[in-house]
Structure 1
Amino acid sequence: MTNRRRFYKDVTVTDDLGIALDTRPVKTPMKAPLVLPTRALAEAVAAEWAEQGEEIKPATMYLTKLANTAIDRVSAYREAIESEVLDYANSDLVCYRTARPPDLVARQLKMWDPVVDWARTALDAPFEVTDGIIHRPQPEAAINAFGEALKSLSDFDLSAFYTIMTLTGSALIAMMLARQAITPDAAWAAAHVDEDYQIEHWGQDDEARDRRVGRHKEFTVCCRFMELARA
């Protein structure tokens, strides 16, 4: 969406948890009513609209974008999205380990084993770990169990989940966040074990640092969205 001049003065949350601009209901890009699942999320989305200046800048309205995605895309293409997530889980970041150097091996064990162990116990999903980067398909039982866990997520959860998964490289970490089994800070650290190790030993250029800051901001918004969608 492109920027446009602000045409409204007041922003309110309606009785059905929609958003109204001077009593005019907001719709998604596909013209569906922008109705939120909780008052907390509705108020947060309304705040994004209220905080716009003379111009409406959709790129700054992260919660609104996630809500639009949940309503317009997740609800319409749920089966395809779940299939993509399962493909991701089938080659999940935390299941591929290095054989050296020893300090990185130890760091991966410390940060990633709890994620795999959680999936095995909480989801009854027997994910397996392997050394190297050659793809090794996960057991069918693990993928099936993870698929059942996906079905328990609302469209709003899955909207944020999918973005978190792509930002972290891990469907398992995203599921832990969705189940409130890990904090956002711990999830971010687990997703960046290898990157942080590289930075510690060889540094980081300004461009890479800026990209990471932007990704972390998006990640934080997704975590907040998922929390508000259940509040």
Structure 2
Amino acid sequence: MRDILNDLDDGRQFSDPDPMRRAQSQMQRPLPKRFYKRVEVGGADEAWTVLLDGRTVRTPAGAELALPSEAAARLVADEFGAQGEHIDPMTMPVTRLVNTAIDGVAVDIQVVMEDILRYASTDLLYYRADAPDRLIELQAEAWDPVLDWAEAELSVRFILAEGVMHVEQPRQTIAAVGAHLRPRNDPLRLAALHVMTTLTGSAILALAVEAGSIEAEAAWEAAHVDEDWNISQWGEDEEAAARRAARRRDMMGAVALLRAVTAR
């Protein structure tokens, strides 16, 4: 099921969803040289494409990379334009996400929705520390307003738990999340929400960002309350910091694409 949710590159799925490990794998083979000089966007209404020296960009599976707004097309064009001597897909989070949406998510919308709902069933925001007091406070400060928004928006109640022991949410609560998600069945929009969900561990955070209830940067920080607490106590590992930076880039790319496809 998750195969179609991974990024696509050169007609093949990446071997690992973690951006840092993907980058390490990418470095094991030569990057393609930049073969174009001009990057433009063309189109009108809800059919916009990216042109490299006048030729339309296609996805790894050969589909035309068509986007519903000029803003979305310019996000992709800017990533192509920013490439140097070589084309590095790891520096192109929006392009990779668009490829995934067109070649993967569009094939089976339902399976992607179900995966987001699985996150909603075991959302990061439900599970609270039982100590120390300061961490408990930090979690409440970052997470409670988001849950308050979701409860008001969906007319439901969430059950919280201390520690990692699974707590089952009421069936009607998950059904309400599903009903909220159902109209968001555009492949690009859904792909962006899925990336935001998996990178934060929280479908509730992803939906709150989409609704404008929380800023993207604040949501990213909320998703890392526990990690930041541990860093404050024990220091930060250089490799972990690089991995987090790569994941943040993917997150902000997803947010930018979401904004571009929903603003039209």
Q: Distance in 2 between matches of 1:59 and 1:133?
A: 33
Deviation per residue, 1:79-126 (Å, 9 max, x gap)? 111111111111111001122212211221221111211111112232
Deviation, 1:7, is 2.9
Q: Does the Cα contact within 8 Å between 2:48 and 2:70 map onto a contact in 1?
A: yes
Contact 2:146–2:213 (CA<8 Å) still a contact in 1?
A: no
Q: Is the 8 A contact 1:173 1:187 kept in 2?
A: yes
Aligned to 1:160: 192
Contact 1:89–1:143, Cα closer than 8 Å, also in 2: yes
Question: What is the aligned counterpart of 1:6 among 29, 34, 47?
Answer: 34
What is the rounded CA distance, in whole Å, between the counterparts of 1:7 and 1:210 in structure 2? 29
Aligned ranges for residues 111-122 of structure 1 at < 5 Å?
111-122=142-153
Instruction: Name the counterpart of 1:215.
Output: 247
Aligned residues: 231
Q: 1:214 to 1:129 in 2, by over 3 A?
A: same
Closer, same or farther: CA 227–202 of 1 in aligned 2, 3 Å: same
Extract unaligned runs of 5+ from structure 1: none
The answer on whether the counterparts of 1:38 and 1:230 sit within 8 Å (CA) in structure 2 is: no
Would you say 1:41 and 2:72 are equivalent positions?
A: yes
TM-score by length of 1: 0.93
Check the 8 A contact 1:6/1:56 in 2, yes or no.
yes
Q: Which amino acid aligns with 1:221?
A: G
Which range moved further: 82-91 or 101-110? 101-110
Unaligned runs of 5+ in 2: 1-8, 11-30
Asked if 1:148 is matched to 2:179, the reply is yes
CA distance in 1 between counterparts of 2:142 and 2:98 reads 31
Contact 1:125/1:146 (8 A) holds in 2: no
Alpha-carbon distance, 1:55 to partner: 2.6
Q: TM-score, normalised by structure 2?
A: 0.82
Counterpart-to-counterpart distance in 1, 2:123 and 2:210: 16
Moved more, 201-210 or 26-35: 201-210
Residue matched to 1:227: 259
Q: Distance in 2 between matches of 1:28 and 1:125?
A: 40
1:18 paired residue among 27, 30, 49: 49
Residue 52 to residue 116, structure 1, CA distance change in 2 (3 Å): same
Contact 2:93 2:249 in 1 (8 A): no
Cα drift, residue 136 of structure 1: 1.4
Match status 1:92 vs 2:92? no
Residue 181 in structure 1 maps to residue 213 in structure 2 = yes
Change (3 A) 1:106 1:50: closer
* 1:24-63 mapped onto 2 (5 Å cutoff): 24-63=55-94
CA distance in 2 between counterparts of 1:193 and 1:185 reads 13
**Alpha-carbon RMSD:** 1.6
| CA contact 1:10–1:21 (8 Å) conserved in 2 | yes
Structure 2 vs 1, CA of residues 54 and 107 (structure 1 numbering), >3 Å: closer, same or farther?
closer
Q: What is the rounded CA distance, in whole Å, between the counterparts of 2:41 and 2:257 in structure 1?
A: 17
CA distance in 2, matches of 1:228, 1:80: 24
State the percentage of identical aligned residues: 40
TM-superposed deviation, 1:6: 2.9
Does 2:232 match 1:200?
yes
Q: CA deviation at 1:42?
A: 0.7
Instruction: Provide closer, same or farther for how the CA distance between residues 225 and 102 of structure 1 changes in structure 2, counting only shifts above 3 A.
Output: same
